[in-house]
Structure 1
Amino acid sequence: MLEQLLIFTRGGLILWTCKELGNALKGSPIDTLIRSCLLEERSGDASYNYDAPGVAYTLKWTFLNELGLIFVAVYQRILNLLYVDDLLSMVKREFSQMYDPKRTVYNDFDDIFRQLRKEAEARAEEMKKSKQAPKPVGNVSRKQGQAAAQKAGLEGGVKQKNGASGKDGGDGGDGDFAKGRKSENGYSNGMGIEESHAAGVVKNKENGSSENGAFDVNKLQKLRSKGGKKPDNVSKASKVEPKKKVTKKNRVWDEKPSESKLDFTDPVDERGDENIAVMADQGESMMDKEEIVSSESEAEEDEETEKDNKGNAKKKGWFSSMFQSIAGKANLEKSDLEPALKALKDRLMTKNVAEEIAEKLCESVAASLEGKKQASFTRISSTVQTAMEEALVRILTPRRSIDILRDVHVAKEQGKPYVVVFVGVNGVGKSTNLAKVAYWLLQHKITVMMAACDTFRSGAVEQLRTHARRLQIPIFEKGYEKDPAIVANEAIQEATRNGSDVVLVDTAGRMQDNEPLMRALSKLINLNNPDLVLFVGEALVGNDAVDQLSKFSQKLADLSTSPNTRLIDGILLTKFDTIDDKVGAALSMVYISGAPVMFVGCGQSYTDLKKLNVKSIVNTLLK
């Protein structure tokens, strides 16, 4: 049974709801749909599942972009109603005929909707019965089919020996059965017996009777004769004078190297302690520097391309494209948008955006543009480009505050440390970027303590200890083979006692499919309830970014023991300086998780940490 059907504008004004249904929806499925699906450019999806305590809804929707209307149907997920899509299209068609922008009440639409729902339900029942009813087969027709099969099989066997196509081209009661069969040589069913026989002989001759296992000796002789000739490039290369041999220089051995050249360790005092004498100071962190992005966009090709019958790209005529841009188009259709969207999808994939994400984005942009009136003096490609740019800005712009410094001061006023947990797969640079975040916080006069909770990887505690010595900050460690959740809990208690403002928790790298380590990570998060869970991911990954983040979030949700499930709160993107313009991993990660990119690692020193510039990323993706 349908729970509710709503019609509202893109501005949020509800024009009509079905009073006949009268069901009060539990939770807020419509608000969640708008916030989590429509505003996140997921409107190209077929449906949306909403889960709340004691209820599970499925929501389907359609747009009327020409009038700026949205039609949403809500029903219980267990019912799986088949007529909802048909009902939405009929409601959209009928309501568009009576819509008036000045009206806000449509009580007269109740009777129309009641009739439309009956028609949709009746049509769905008919389709269901037609699929379930078996087709009757008589005894006579069965005998004719068996006789035709035997006859066709015998004739086909004879023809295959003679090189023919093995088809029955004659007329009679067995003609339909013969037409339904497909020959091995692939000739059309309309060909006669003699014609197919001749065609088959010619084909076998051209193919060198390869179907019978024979080999053409003439071809072998031709290949040998070709192989005997030297190619032109080889003869030309032989004429080139050989380069002079480079002689190796003698190595000069330094028998008494200075100790300063060989000593790369941190300085120690005379007592032999591991405390560093001077804190590592490498200047101001890039987090506090504003990146300037040029607003000038690169010039694009003015003429649209289309594909001919052979699949080659050709440019439209100057007059036709210019006339369409001047006159505009009444309503954009999906067929008009497909060429531009395909070009955009290919461009996004070349920038390392996951194929699944690029396809969903293009579907969402098509859903938002279909039916809209194209403005004059604009091309379809530029219209699609503008819509995609707006969609990317909406996705990459954080929906909540990511000001960590403000959150740290709020936690300090409450008398507790601000806890950040770094998670991710192996080898992405969690410990190194944890040290970069610590260096940035120290520059803002915030006291930091590190917690070495990577008790799995050999050398992880020593690596973090080295960063702590260089930054002159305390570190809490308990060695290896300890429960990381207990170590993190004790570290937070120690930070509360000594008055540290921030606790940075380093965890072991783990693959998203490693069940024991994922269970340990879930325990650490549930036990300590950190203020921020940062997923550290590489900017080099493409499709794997989707798999990593989706499985990390799914495992944290499945293994959670608390009612308030904690998922990924933010993303730290590493190795951003190694990808040139392949910045698509940032888009893929944000789209699949909904978490913002809070830090970007772009080098090997402590200062190489900066914010994500949304405008720069969007320009890079679309240029």
Structure 2
Amino acid sequence: MLEQLLIFSRGGLILWTCKELSNALKGSPIDTLIRSCLLEERSGLASFVYDAPGASYTLKWTFHNELGLVFVAVYQKILQLLYVDDLLSMVKREFSVVYDPTRTDYGDFDDVYRQLRLEAEARAEEIKKSSKVGARIVGKKQELVQKAKFDQGGKKNGGGNLKSENGGDGADDRLVNGYVNGGRGSLDEEVKNRGSVNDKENLSSNNGAFDVNKLQKLRPKAGKKNDSAAVVSKGSKPESKKKVTKKNRVWDDNKPKDVKLDYTDPVTENGDEHVNYLAAEIEGESMMDKEEVISSDSEEEEDEQVVDGSKSVTKSKGWFSSMFQSIAGKANLERADLEPALKGLKDRLMTKNVAEEIAEKLCESVATSLEGKKLEKFTLVSSTVKAAMEDALVRILTPKRSIDILRDVHAAKEQGKPYVVVFVGVNGVGKSTNLAKVAYWLLQHKVSVMMAACDTFRSGAVEQLRTHARKLQIPIFEKGYEKDPAIVAKEAIQEATRNGSDVVLVDTAGRMQDNEPLMRALSKLINLNNPDLVLFVGEALVGNDAVDQLSKFNQKLADLSNSPNPRLIDGILLTKFDTIDDKVGATLSMVYISGAPVMFVGCGQSYADLMKLNVKSIVKTLLK
């Protein structure tokens, strides 16, 4: 039985709800559907499962894109209601007839819905009965075939197969027909024919292990093989190559070539370290405070390209070519009209390093939002689809909540506690380096920072973080190696509270998403210390692996948490963004799979090389 069926507009105005379904829904399944599916471009899914304490619902929906209406049905997850899809389709058809944008009350639609529900239930019952009858007939047919074979002694004469040679069941049908009719003539004749056809094969199989004639037919010609080998050997003479010697690297022609490249901290003759200058005087202002455009180097406008098989054909943007490519005589868009443009967009996204699974879901969602929509005059389908995809990408990459860390830091300071940020991620992505970049940015905004060396697993991790702390002249809390990182982080937060530090940046060990012990230790650290921000550090060039990394990190944090509302990834820091040119698809993949915003972008090797994400520039690069 349905729990609820409602109709609302794209603007969020509820137009009609079924009065018969007066059951109050537990939780907020409709709001979750809108937030998790409709706004996140997952509307192409078949259904959505809402799980909450004491409630578990399945939601199905459909759109009327021309009128801007959404039809949603809610029922218990444990039920299997076969008529829901048919009912939604009929409700959509009938409601679009009576819909008036000026009306807000559709109480007279209750009688229409009642009749539609009865029709849908009756149709589903008929389909269910017909499927049972069909299954019964198939089972009876298989039973008769087995019985007919059993009556013939349970063997096949001459090794013949009772099935027809083309893979069908023609022989079985003839056997069943002969058996059911009460005669054995058709059965005996079929077995006799099969035996006579295979007599020659049986002679060879009975006299020896295999047929030599068949083996000789399968053996390749020796002459041809030798000829081809001769041709290959003749044309593949190795050419002698000169050995390439590496030249000495010269940084400056004016300097001597034997200068030692030593960039470590200067040391006096007595072994005492000099006091380092503040890093801000060396590095300059952080790029986080600059409005920079992050995209590929080439932003020039090019002719639009369409993918034709394996070729890339450049088409002109003339007026006549645009006119000929528009759909003539069609008022509303259909799925067949959208497929060519969607295929081109999918290929384009995948070439920009977007995961194939996500590219497919995005195209399906865009198709669902455009199907049935009226095409404006003198408008190309390709331009309509591209505009819809651009809106979808902007909606996905735009943060759904405030990510103003400085404001949150001052709010935590007023409450008398430090703001805690935990950096997590896989091995080798640059967590410690980018932690130092974030610390440098915070220092420029007059925020006191303390580092916590909680990577007690990797050799050299504490020394690496200690070097960054010395360069930035900020305190560091460390306990060495082989310690519980959760306890180290807890003690670091307590130390920051006593010293009055505003922010604690917690460095953790790199771990693969399938490493169960390390993922369990990370879950313990987060659950015990309850940080203000869990920042996932990922590479901008991982591509499809970003989906697996983030989904498994979130899944492990949810499974290993004891809280009913487990703490998941809050934000993303993308590293090595300056090495990918226009392959920015990992940004979209990570945000789509986790719903977390990209808060920082690492684009260099100095402390100042930390930037904000420019959403419009990323979308332009993806669709270029």
Where do 1:160-239 residues align within 5 Å? 173=174, 212-215=214-217, 219-229=221-231
Q: 1:283 maps to what in 2?
A: 284
In 2 relative to 1, CA 74–148 (structure 1 residues): closer, same or farther, beyond 3 Å?
Answer: same
Rounded to whole Å, the distance in 1 between the matches of 2:146 and 2:571 is 70
Q: Distance in 1 between matches of 2:300 and 2:14?
A: 39
Alignment of 1:353-368 (within 5 A): 353-368=354-369
The CA deviation at 1:409 is 1.8
Counterparts of residues 105-116 of structure 1 (less than 5 Å): 105-116=105-116
Map 1:335-346 to 2 at 5 A: 335-346=336-347
Note the alpha carbon deviations across 1:74-122, whole angstroms, 9 max, x for none.
Answer: 1111123222111111111111122222222111111111111112222
8 Å contact 1:57–1:77 — kept in the other structure? Answer: yes
Q: After superposition, give the CA deviation of every residue in 1:143-180 in whole Å (9 maximum; x if it has no partner).
A: 99649999996588599xxxx9899999x956999xxx
* Contact residue 144 and residue 174 of structure 1 kept, 8 A: no
Partner of 1:189: none
Query: What code does the residue aligned with 1:225 have?
Result: D
Q: How does 1:347-386 map to 2 (within 5 A)?
A: 347-386=348-387
What secondary structure, in the 3-state scheme, does the structure 2 residue paired with 1:357 have? Answer: helix
Q: CA deviation at 1:305?
A: 6.8
* Deviation per residue, 1:431-453 (Å, 9 max, x gap): 11101111111122211110001
Distance 1:341 1:575, change over 3 A: same
Alignment-derived partner of residue 301 in structure 2: 298
Instruction: Give the match's secondary structure for 1:12.
Output: coil
Secondary structure in structure 2 of the residue aligned to 1:353: coil
SS at match of 2:421: strand
Aligned-CA RMSD value: 4.0
For 1:224, the aligned partner's letter is N
Distance 2:276 2:142 in 1: 99
C-alpha distance in structure 2 between counterparts of 1:151 and 1:27, whole Å: 61
Counterpart of 1:27 in structure 2 is 27
Q: What is the correspondence of 1:316-465 to structure 2 with a 5 Å cutoff?
A: 322-323=323-324, 325=326, 327=328, 329-465=330-466
**Structure 2 CA distance for aligned equivalents of residues 151 and 499 of structure 1:** 88
Shift of 1:613: 1.2
Q: Structure 1 stretches of 5 or more lacking a match? A: 178-192, 198-208, 252-256
TM-score (norm 1): 0.83
Structure 2 match to 1:186: none
- Paired residue type of 2:37: C
Is 1:156–1:166's contact at 8 Å kept on the other side of the alignment?
A: no
8 Å Cα contact 1:545/1:585 also seen in 2: yes
Aligned-partner residue type, residue 216 of structure 2:
A
Describe the shift of the 1:106–1:267 C-alpha distance in structure 2 as closer, same or farther (beyond 3 A).
same
> Deviation string for 1:53-77 (max 9, x for gaps)?
2111111100010111100001111
- Does the aligned pair in 2 maintain the 1:274–1:469 contact within 8 Å? no
Alignment match, 2:260: 261
Q: Name which of structure 1's ranges 316-325 and 421-430 shifts more when overlaid on structure 2.
A: 316-325
Query: Does the aligned pair in 2 maintain the 1:442–1:448 contact within 8 Å?
Result: yes
1:258 CA drift (Å): 12
* Equivalence for 1:12: 12
* Counterpart residue type for residue 260 of structure 2: K
Give the 3-state SS of the residue equivalent to 2:574 in structure 1: strand
Structure 2 gap ranges (5+): 179-193, 199-210, 250-255
Q: Which amino acid aligns with 1:14?
A: I
Q: Which residue of 2 aligns with 1:614?
A: 615
Rounded Cα–Cα distance in structure 1 between residues aligned with 2:223 and 2:257 = 71
CA distance in 1, matches of 2:581, 2:79: 50
CA distance in structure 2 between the aligned counterparts of 1:459 and 1:139, rounded to whole angstroms: 69
Output one character per residue of 1:456-501: Cα deviation in whole Å (capped at 9) or x when no partner: 1111111101111111110001111211111111111111111211
Preserved contact between residue 449 and residue 504 of structure 1 (Cα < 8 Å)? yes
Q: 1:86 to 1:169 in 2, by over 3 A?
A: closer
Q: Is 2:522 the counterpart of 1:554?
A: no
TM-score after normalising by structure 2: 0.83
What is the DSSP-based 3-state SS (H/G/I as helix, E as strand, rest coil) of the residue aligned with 1:137?
Answer: helix
Kept in 2, the 8 Å contact 1:420–1:531? The answer is yes
The equivalent residue for 1:187 is none
Could you tell me how far apart the structure 1 residues matched to 2:28 and 2:425 are? 33
1:92 correspondence with 2:92: yes
Q: State the alpha-carbon separation in 1 of the partners of residues 479 and 169 from structure 2.
A: 83
Identity %: 75
